[in-house]
Amino acid sequence: MKTQIITVKDPHDSPREIASAAKTLRNGGLVVFPTETVYGLGGDATDPLAAKKIYAAKGRPSNNPLIIHISSPEEAEQYAVTSEYYYRLAEAFMPGPLTVILQKKDTIPLEVTGGLDTVAVRCPSHPIANSLIKAAGVPIAAPSANISGRPSPTSAQYCISDLDGKVDVIIDGGECEIGLESTIIALRSDTAVLLRPGAITYDALCCVCPHVELTDAARGTLSDNERPMAPGMMYRHYAPSAPFILLDGPREAFIPYIIARRAAGECCAAICSEQEASLLGNENTVIYGDPDDLEQQARRLFSAIREADSLGCTAIYAMKPEPVGLGLAMYNRMIRAASHTVIEIN
Ligand code: TXA
Ligand code: MG
């Protein structure tokens, strides 16, 4: 398949490109598009065949359900059973980086939900995503636009390297603002369960829902043989080919630790701040942001993991983030990329 790559800065300036990508979706094709979190690999969420194509292109097990993307919170009515708490969450956080799991209606085929009777609903704030959903006139089922097991793509370049030749269209809309996938919350009749932490933090959710349960999978403490509530949290994820190791201890101990590993002959890559990179001589370092700028670190985390992996080192080191607020979302991704390998330093 020849993949068409189109660049869109502002969807209002590119109505023909958006209309053509929307037509591809309506005809059962696959379109990669930017969102404020990460790029999505989209297909018509009402079409079981499109769902099958998504699983095939990604190399993803078909029992791992897809998120459906809508252009306004009210559209959820057509596809799911909503509730008072859904609308409270929608008012506070939609459009934005929040996914809510609800009971599904028959309009969404079981192929999309991996056989579950629930459906994940998200209303993205990115203008390209929003225009594309509106123009398509159907909800868009979209997992992150990476090959299964690789870090989620935060720029079109990574979508191209993973999916060129496997999808009809890739819309290049620049770098994603947030860089980590949406927060996922499951709503039951009387409880809310946080399945995946993201830029909408646990504390922010607690301001809207009186009781939010934090799962072990969200905390990053789920052991390998336990079954998470979001099937996707079960799979080895974001895994670089070189071992990725988290270092836990005072930040000042980071540079001396890397220098000692290198002195011992290890070819190690460090994911760190600009200042730390210069102290390490900039060799085999990837900058993801300042220690006190979590938003910047989150935005660059996945690209940093990909870049560090491309250096061909035998190990990749990063400091363990403090698992609170946005740090919990980072920790959740990093601990799985590290297959739970944490080394204490001091
Ligand atoms: O930010 C995001 O959420 C991105 C962008 C493209 O919107 N999408 C994304 O999709 O990260 P994906 O498929 O890579 O991750 C969705 C997660 C998976 O872990 C999946 O198992 C879980 O959501 N999920 C989807 N539907 C579910 C359901 N009905 N019940 C429980 N978990 C569900
Ligand atoms: Mg994913």
CA of 144 from ligand 2 middle (Å) equals: 4
Identify the residue with better confidence: 254 or 237: 254
What does the pLDDT read at residue 190?
75
Nearest CA to ligand 1 atom 6: 40
- Strand-pair category, 192-196 with 212-214: parallel
C-alpha–C-alpha distance, residues 9 and 279, integer Å: 37
Q: Which ligand is nearest to the CA of 55?
A: 1
Tens of pLDDT along 214-243?
988 888 887 655 667 777 766 566 778 899
pLDDT over 60 (residue 192):
yes
Tens of pLDDT along 166-188?
999 999 999 999 999 999 999 98
Tens of pLDDT along 276-331?
999 999 999 999 999 999 999 999 999 999 999 999 999 999 999 999 999 999 99
Confidence of residue 75 (pLDDT cuts 50, 70, 90): very high
CB neighbour burial string for 307-326, b if at least 16 within 10 angstroms, e if fewer: bbbebebebbbbbbbebebb
Q: Which ligand is nearest to the CA of 235?
A: 1
Tens of pLDDT along 21-34?
999 999 999 999 99
Pick from 310, 306, 283, 288: which is nearest to 298 by CA?
288
Element (H, E) at 285: strand 285-287
Note the Cα 59 to chain centre separation in Å.
16
Determine whether the shortest distance from the Cβ of 35 to ligand 1 is under 6 A: yes
Secondary structure (3-state) at 317: strand
What does the pLDDT read at residue 239?
75
Question: Which residues, by Cβ under 5 Å, contact ligand 2, an ion?
Answer: 144
Determine whether the shortest distance from the Cβ of 184 to ligand 1 is under 6 A: yes
Confidence of residue 76 (pLDDT cuts 50, 70, 90): very high
Token pair recorded at residue 109: 């085929």
Q: Do 153 and 145 touch, CB atoms closer than 8 A? A: yes
Nearest CA to ligand 1 atom 33: 230
Rounded to the nearest integer, the mean pLDDT of the chain is 95
pLDDT over 60 (residue 213):
yes
Determine whether the shortest distance from the Cβ of 182 to ligand 1 is under 6 A: yes
Determine whether the shortest distance from the Cβ of 284 to ligand 1 is under 6 A: no
What does the pLDDT read at residue 227?
67
Confidence of residue 191 (pLDDT cuts 50, 70, 90): confident
CA distances to 39, 63, 242 from 3, rounded to whole Å, are: 16, 27, 30
Confidence of residue 11 (pLDDT cuts 50, 70, 90): very high
Pick from 280, 284, 283, 271: which is nearest to 317 by CA?
271
| Cβ neighbours, 10 Å, residue 137 | 11
Note the Cα 125 to chain centre separation in Å.
15
CA of 283 from ligand 1 middle (Å) equals: 36
Determine whether the shortest distance from the Cβ of 234 to ligand 1 is under 6 A: no
Determine whether the shortest distance from the Cβ of 144 to ligand 1 is under 6 A: yes
Q: pTM of whole model > 0.85?
A: yes
Token pair recorded at residue 289: 């942001």
Size (the chain), residues: 346
CA of 67 from ligand 1 middle (Å) equals: 5
Q: Do 220 and 292 touch, CB atoms closer than 8 A? A: no
pLDDT over 80 (residue 198):
yes
Tens of pLDDT along 120-136?
999 999 999 999 999 99
Q: Do 242 and 257 touch, CB atoms closer than 8 A? A: no
